[in-house]
Amino acid sequence: MRVLRLNHAPSIVGYAAVVGGKEHEGPLGADFDLHDDSGKFGMDTWEKSESEMQRLALNLALSKGELSYQSIDAIFAGDLMNQCTGSAYGLLSFEKPYFGLYGACSTFAEATMLSSLMINAGYFRKCAAVSSSHFCSAERQFRFPLEYGGQRAPTAQWTATASGAAILSADGNGPYVTEVMPGIIVDKGINDINNMGAAMAPAAIDTLTAYFTETGKQPDDFDLILTGDLGLEGLSITRTLMKNEGYDLTKVYNDCGLLLYGKASQDVHCGGSGCGCSASVICGHILKRFAKGELKNVLYLATGALMSPNSLKQGATIPGIAHLVHISSEQNG
Amino acid sequence: MRVLRLNHAPSIVGYAAVVGGKEHEGPLGADFDLHDDSGKFGMDTWEKSESEMQRLALNLALSKGELSYQSIDAIFAGDLMNQCTGSAYGLLSFEKPYFGLYGACSTFAEATMLSSLMINAGYFRKCAAVSSSHFCSAERQFRFPLEYGGQRAPTAQWTATASGAAILSADGNGPYVTEVMPGIIVDKGINDINNMGAAMAPAAIDTLTAYFTETGKQPDDFDLILTGDLGLEGLSITRTLMKNEGYDLTKVYNDCGLLLYGKASQDVHCGGSGCGCSASVICGHILKRFAKGELKNVLYLATGALMSPNSLKQGATIPGIAHLVHISSEQNG
């Protein structure tokens, strides 16, 4: 069994999202707690800006939850930067037990999953899950220096300048993380760095079909099934192949990378991506919809592409992973 | 309380270490399960060699424990490569739920800690903890291309070409992981990339003093207190500052980075480092000494330096972390 049912399902008691200008201009702009149009957040390098976003997101999540930083027992965090420095520097000042994660764009789900498992087991009362990405730090690390002005492929996605933080707690009034399911690394041979959606979709399909098979649930049992950042290409592959497996996602399926930007006008091609993409959509938008009563039952699957620029130069293909987190307004949901 | 006591302490039921030529020539050489003097392990790039070491280490750990790969419920793994590709590619073929970690040289302790916590909570029956480093992949990523032949500073450490894998299990006859304690990120302002021992020592001191304070134990309660890879410089700082705190480590303290190489003849300066350093010393040497009855009670603290080459170029200092794992021959030890 890969699905882990949480009998003492932790509650999400604080959450916040911090974004850049482009994300603020998008359709979810009004939902985000803080934005800086310059993307700099008062810092003099993009990498420091990304760290600062994580610090701000966690501070805001604590503050919105009316929690002191002392109440946190541990932090689970990660990002896309080499050696995950966005998190290490950004979260240093909290002086809390720290678990560094690397799951590429699946990191926020991995952090939420591990936080929830730890609280459910009684090891901790409160944990923070945090992740981030920054267009400017990612672009020069993974593709080209911004000044080069590289042409973007039609299947390319736009790395979100965004960070999300959620506080999971043994006490609280929901929403609750009631089930989690760690992903398996899946590699179907895609080697196009400009088509990460296609590379990650097989992992999402693997996790989703395993979840439905094990639980006996159907897509329509959920208000929303939300992948992390497959974008338009990956979403369409997932929808089609899931239909072939006998699961019709049409009515309930969307993708954080598509929700984050207004398609045509913002010129992001296939949608958003990055560790901050689904983190900010969950912590900015989705959890607010739970608070308003608009959502009660959501399957969130963050997908990650586990290659590096070096591994692709050496001829490797792109392995993907998808971690699942079931968020429900009912503790036994 | 930062110390987590494991009431259903998991047993280490399989372990293996795979190393390069220099590590095999060192004083622990005969303890390692597999070595390749070329460091290539049949691959055509150093990065692929590192992945192959992880695959081999996990396979050998399973085989030595007389376990099938199907028996593993989840893998916790990480490495030093950008985007942790050593683990993602190396462990892809096992097709198991995968938790990617980044803790720099503390990764093996982080993986062992999370595996143990998950098993103790009943989520999984068996987990694998795996990590690696490779001198040739690390040197060109963190310092200079090998061909450049850069001069090494006296306080520099040598990144180990090594991988270790351990299988933690709900059943077994020990040794057991009886306590774990996640580290806090500590940054005391060291910015010399050639003196990682000094940068990481404060984190080791923070974790050790907190452990002794919380548990009321003393250094002499242990057969051995073993830091991950502080090297000669970090070990001497730790010993001195711990003495100032009232804890005399003289009789029981050593460091994996010092154990791995024969000091003068091997020209490694301050000792070994890298995610594979303590992983191979634990899985090659220490667990064999448990099996022979020579060790019964060991505190293992793996230290990690969480900077990146970019963060140092941008003027940041080096944050360190130290995760603690208590290994005992008694399940309630």
**Residues 6+ away with beta carbon under 8 Å from B198:** B155, B190, B192, B233, B234, B237
Average pLDDT, chain B: 96
**Pick from A224-233, A263-272, B26-35, B88-97: least confident:** A263-272
Nearest to B100 by CA among A119, A205, A199, A104: A104
Smallest Cα distance from B210 to chain A, Å:
12
- What single-letter amino acid sits at A251? K
Smallest Cα distance from A292 to chain B, Å:
33
CB contact residues (below 8 A), chain A span 179-208, against chain B: 181-185, 187
pLDDT above 70 coverage of chain A, percent: 99
| CA B183/CA B167 separation, integer angstroms | 22
Residues B84 and B191 reside in one and the same domain:
no
Distance of alpha carbon B124 from the chain centroid: 22
Residues listed for chain A: 333
Q: What is the pLDDT of residues B297-308, one digit of tens each?
A: 999 999 999 999
Beta bridge partner(s), residue A16: A165
- B145–chain A Cβ distance below 8 A for any pair: no
Q: How does DSSP assign B160-187, residue by residue?
A: --EEEEEEEESSSS--EEEEEE--B-B-
> Is the pLDDT assigned to residue B263 strictly greater than 70?
no
End residue of a domain, out of A129, A153, A169: A169
- Omega cis (within 30) before B219: no
End residue of a domain, out of B169, B186, B205: B169
| CA B278/CA B227 separation, integer angstroms | 8
Q: What is the pLDDT of residues B19-55, one digit of tens each?
A: 999 999 999 999 999 999 999 999 999 999 999 999 9
Residues A265 and A239 reside in one and the same domain:
yes
Residues B91 and B213 reside in one and the same domain:
no
**Chain B residues closer than 8 Å to A83 by CB:** 80, 82, 102, 104, 306-308, 311
| CA B65/CA B78 separation, integer angstroms | 22
What residue has token string 């990065």? Answer: B47
Across the interface, of B123, B187, B314, the residue whose CB is closest to A4 is B123
**Residues 6+ away with beta carbon under 8 Å from A282:** A15, A108, A164, A166, A256, A300
- Closest chain A residue by Cα to residue B113: A99
Average pLDDT, chain A: 96
For A121, B21, B202, B319, B320, the CA distances from B191, given in Å and listed in that order, are 39, 31, 14, 9, 11
Instruction: Provide mean pLDDT across the span B321-330.
Output: 98
- Determine the angle formed by the axes of helices A231-244 and A196-215, rounding to 10 degrees: 40
Instruction: Provide mean pLDDT across the span A109-120.
Output: 98
| CA A250/CA A238 separation, integer angstroms | 11
- Residue of higher predicted confidence among B264 and B326: B326
- A145–chain B Cβ distance below 8 A for any pair: no
User: Are B82 and A118 an interchain contact pair (Cβ–Cβ within 8 Å)?
Assistant: no
3-state secondary structure of A254: strand
Instruction: Provide mean pLDDT across the span B245-268.
Output: 91
Q: Is residue A333 part of a domain?
A: no
Instruction: Provide mean pLDDT across the span A270-284.
Output: 96
Interface test with B, best of A51, A69, A311 (most B CBs within 10 A): A311
What per-residue confidence (pLDDT) applies to B81? 97
Binned at pLDDT 50, 70 and 90, residue B247 comes out as: very high
**Chain A residues closer than 8 Å to B190 by CB:** none
**Residues 6+ away with beta carbon under 8 Å from B97:** A2, A181, A182, A183, A184, B73, B74, B75
Provide the 10 A C-beta neighbour count for residue B151: 6
- Omega cis (within 30) before A10: no
- What single-letter amino acid sits at B185? I
Residues B54 and B152 reside in one and the same domain:
yes
CB of A33 closer than 8 Å to CB of A164: no
**Chain A residues closer than 8 Å to B117 by CB:** 118, 121, 123
User: Are A101 and B102 an interchain contact pair (Cβ–Cβ within 8 Å)?
Assistant: yes
**Chain B residues closer than 8 Å to A311 by CB:** 47, 83, 85, 89
Q: Is residue B194 part of a domain?
A: yes
- A172–chain B Cβ distance below 8 A for any pair: no
> Is the pLDDT assigned to residue A267 strictly greater than 90?
no
Residues A273 and A295 reside in one and the same domain:
yes
**Chain A residues closer than 8 Å to B309 by CB:** 82
| CA A230/CA A103 separation, integer angstroms | 15
Residues B14 and B161 reside in one and the same domain:
yes
Query: Residue B238 has which token pair?
Result: 């730790």
* Residue B259 CA neighbour count, 13 Å, CB half: 23
Regarding beta strands A176-181 and A4-5, do their DSSP bridges make them parallel or antiparallel, or are they unpaired? antiparallel
> Is the pLDDT assigned to residue A263 strictly greater than 70?
no
| CATH number (domain holding residue B23) | 3.40.47.40
The alpha-helical segments, DSSP class H, found in chain B are 21-25, 46-64, 85-90, 107-120, 135-142, 196-215, 231-244, 256-259, 263-266, 275-280, 287-291, 309-313
- B95–chain A Cβ distance below 8 A for any pair: yes
Highest mean predicted confidence (pLDDT) among A149-158, A175-184, B143-152? A175-184
- A153–chain B Cβ distance below 8 A for any pair: no
Binned at pLDDT 50, 70 and 90, residue A149 comes out as: confident
**Chain A residues closer than 8 Å to B122 by CB:** 121
User: Are B100 and A97 an interchain contact pair (Cβ–Cβ within 8 Å)?
Assistant: no
Residues A100 and A181 reside in one and the same domain:
no
Residues B183 and B300 reside in one and the same domain:
yes
SS3 readout for A73-127: CEEEEEECCHHHHHHHHHCHHHCCEEEEECCHHHHHHHHHHHHHHHHHCCCCCEE
User: Are A100 and B97 an interchain contact pair (Cβ–Cβ within 8 Å)?
Assistant: no
Q: Is residue A143 part of a domain?
A: yes
| Number of domains comprising chain A | 2
**DSSP 8-class letter at A10:** P
Nearest to A295 by CA among A176, A171, A211, A182: A176
Binned at pLDDT 50, 70 and 90, residue B143 comes out as: confident
Our CA angle for A233, A3, A209, nearest 5°, is 35
| CA B73/CA B83 separation, integer angstroms | 23
Nearest to A137 by CA among B36, B188, B314: B314
Across the interface, of A99, A182, A314, the residue whose CB is closest to B74 is A182
| CA B103/CA B196 separation, integer angstroms | 14
End residue of a domain, out of A139, A169, A199: A169
> Is the pLDDT assigned to residue A298 strictly greater than 90?
yes
Residues B72 and B219 reside in one and the same domain:
no
Q: What are phi and psi of A330, to 5 degrees?
A: -105, 135
Task: Provide the strand spans (E) within A197-319.
Answer: 224-227, 253-255, 272-273, 297-305
Computed from CA positions of residues B147, B150, B154, B159, in that sequence, does the dihedral angle turn out positive or negative? negative
| CA B192/CA B289 separation, integer angstroms | 35
What per-residue confidence (pLDDT) applies to B287? 98
> Could you give the ipTM of this predicted complex?
0.98
Beta bridge partner(s), residue B190: none
**Chain A residues closer than 8 Å to B185 by CB:** 88, 91-92, 95, 98
Q: Is residue B333 part of a domain?
A: no
The parent domain of residue B217 ranges over 176-328
Instruction: Provide mean pLDDT across the span B48-75.
Output: 97
| CA B183/CA B303 separation, integer angstroms | 9
Query: Residue B212 has which token pair?
Result: 């002794």
Residues A282 and A193 reside in one and the same domain:
yes
Q: What is the pLDDT of residues B164-218, one digit of tens each?
A: 999 999 999 999 999 999 999 999 999 998 899 999 999 999 999 999 999 999 9
Instruction: Provide mean pLDDT across the span A159-168.
Output: 98
> Is the pLDDT assigned to residue B291 strictly greater than 70?
yes
Smallest Cα distance from A27 to chain B, Å:
31
At A289, which helix (H) or strand (E)? helix A287-291
> Is the pLDDT assigned to residue A49 strictly greater than 90?
yes
Across the interface, of A2, A83, A319, the residue whose CB is closest to B102 is A83
Residues A150 and A296 reside in one and the same domain:
no
User: Are B81 and A184 an interchain contact pair (Cβ–Cβ within 8 Å)?
Assistant: no
3-state secondary structure of A32: coil
Provide the 10 A C-beta neighbour count for residue B66: 9
- What single-letter amino acid sits at A262? G
Residues B101 and B125 reside in one and the same domain:
yes
- Interface contacts (A, B; CB < 8 Å): 155
User: Are A311 and B47 an interchain contact pair (Cβ–Cβ within 8 Å)?
Assistant: yes
